[in-house]
Amino acid sequence: MKVKEKKVELIELFYDLIYVYALSKLTMLMENGVIPFAGFFRYLVVCFVILQAWLYLTNYVNRYGRWKWYEYGLTAVNMTAAVYMANTIDTDWGEMATTFNLAMLVMLLCVAVMYFIQIRLNEQDTGAARNMLTILTVDLFLYLVAFLASVIHPGQIVLWIDVAAVLVGAFLPFFIRGRFDISIISFPHLVERFELITIITFGEGIVGMTGFFDVKHVTLRPILVFAVILCLFGYYVTQIHYLCNHHRVDRSLRLMFSHYFIVIAVNLITVAFKFLENPEASHLFTAGLMIAALILFFAAIFSDSIYIMKNIALGSKMQRNRVDFWSLVRQLCCLSVLRFTDS
């Protein structure tokens, strides 16, 4: 089966910047160096909601996008709503719930309209479009219920409805598997899109680390912080960009799910580094958060090993596991040195 090649347009990079900005705003949910369970749960829910909204439009562009006038227009509306959504993010869920869910309604409605237009045009296989329109209809209903509930009485019930919307978006595709031509999926384009949003997320992490570089008090700590981020970035690029076979026909579900966790892990690593500068932060909690984020990062990348090119001699499966294990050990050693220099 012929691999579908598709160029990543500049507007897609612009689109990624807005969503990474929204993800960076989530660091506001981390209070006083200790994240309460409720706050951490809220952080994860909002993170998944934002990434899912990003993925809905990314999948549409990957499968059907030709960047006609209506696609530009609806994408511009989607991005405008995403900026409003980002600016609603607050530690007080009651304050952000109404506008947040309204923005999600607008964003998903834009994508649903694009899929509906593709079904009406019937210019190429519409099986995937019909599947996604069904999923989006269910999600739109849930976000509408969440919006109305937040207007009447904002509370935890709204958060649980958003959780249901995330689960629907994540797992309904496994149950609604209507027939469609898998060749409409451009795996090379999709990999490049995930690489872009991950690299921009790393960039946000570097921006967050600039506070460590104090020219008046030169220490080893900022060098070690930068070295850790650089090593993580290098590991990601090596595994996903150089070792993976991008020219293939695949639904790429594992690639999608793994990058949810990769992006979240990079954000959590950034948060843990920021806690190093917070005198009120618990050292034990900071170390635990960093180790958990690193394990999540390496596990998510390792899950994509099924995409590694067959002509690359990496040895046995045990040897690949050993390489990943020692990579993790090296990162943890760097963090241990960093912790001691901080003390």
Report the chain's mean pLDDT, rounded to a whole number: 82
pLDDT category, 285, cuts 50, 70, 90?
A: confident
Encode pLDDT of 247-261 as tens digits.
Answer: 888 888 889 989 999
Encode pLDDT of 15-39 as tens digits.
Answer: 998 888 888 877 666 655 556 566 6
Q: Angle between the 187-208 and 37-63 helix axes, to the nearest 10 degrees?
A: 140
Q: Quick one: average pLDDT of 72-100?
A: 86
Is the per-residue pLDDT at 54 higher than 70? yes
Separation between Cα atoms, residue 136 and residue 113, nearest integer Å: 10
**What proportion of the chain, given as a percentage, has pLDDT over 90?**
34
Short-list 23, 49, 104, 55, CA closest to 253: 55
Is the per-residue pLDDT at 321 higher than 60? no
Predicted pLDDT of residue 312: 61
Longest dimension (CA), the chain: 64
Predicted pLDDT of residue 319: 45
**Which amino acid, one-letter code, is at 259?**
H
Q: Quick one: average pLDDT of 92-98?
A: 77
- pTM summary value: 0.84
Is the per-residue pLDDT at 214 higher than 90? no
Instruction: Give the bridge partners for 308, in sequence order.
Output: 244
Q: Quick one: average pLDDT of 267-293?
A: 83
Neighbours of 241 (CB within 10 A): 13
Task: Give φ, ψ of 206 to 5 degrees.
Answer: -65, -40
C-alpha count within 13 angstroms, C-beta hemisphere, residue 176: 18
Token pair, residue 256, equals 């999608």
